[in-house]
Amino acid sequence: DAKTTQPTSMDCAEGRAANLPCNHSTISGNEYVYWYRQIHSQGPQYIIHGLKNNETNEMASLIITEDRKSSTLILPHATLRDTAVYYCIVRLQYNNNDMRFGAGTRLTVKP
């Protein structure tokens, strides 16, 4: 069972920042927040993960609230190719690979 709650869908204008929220109010202290995305009919693509500090890589930034009960994935300059379903996942690292995907957020980037 997924331990996260995400909006079903969101729209974003091309070139603008896309901010995707995720609630994980039951997260425990040693669980990480992972983000993946899936472009239609392809395998999910790893984006970023974090424990409690904000993280940034070449694809996105991850902002985790101080109480760790929610997070936001930020795509700084969304392009049409960022249209996908985005999954927020809570998991134990260094434990196992059983990732519980929820329904995710369908992000549509519009020109």
Residues binding another protein (CB under 8 A): 34, 41-46, 49, 87, 92-103
Are the CB atoms for 93 and 32 separated by under 8 Å? yes
CB-based burial of residue 24 (10 Å sphere; 0-12 exposed, 13-18 middle, 19+ buried)? buried
Task: Rank residues 28 and 95 by Cβ distance to another protein and give the closer one.
Answer: 95
Smallest gap, in angstroms, from Cβ of residue 111 to another protein?
A: 27
Dihedral sign computed on CA atoms, order 3, 44, 8, 63: positive
Task: Rank residues 2 and 74 by Cβ distance to another protein and give the closer one.
Answer: 2
Task: Rank residues 66 and 98 by Cβ distance to another protein and give the closer one.
Answer: 98
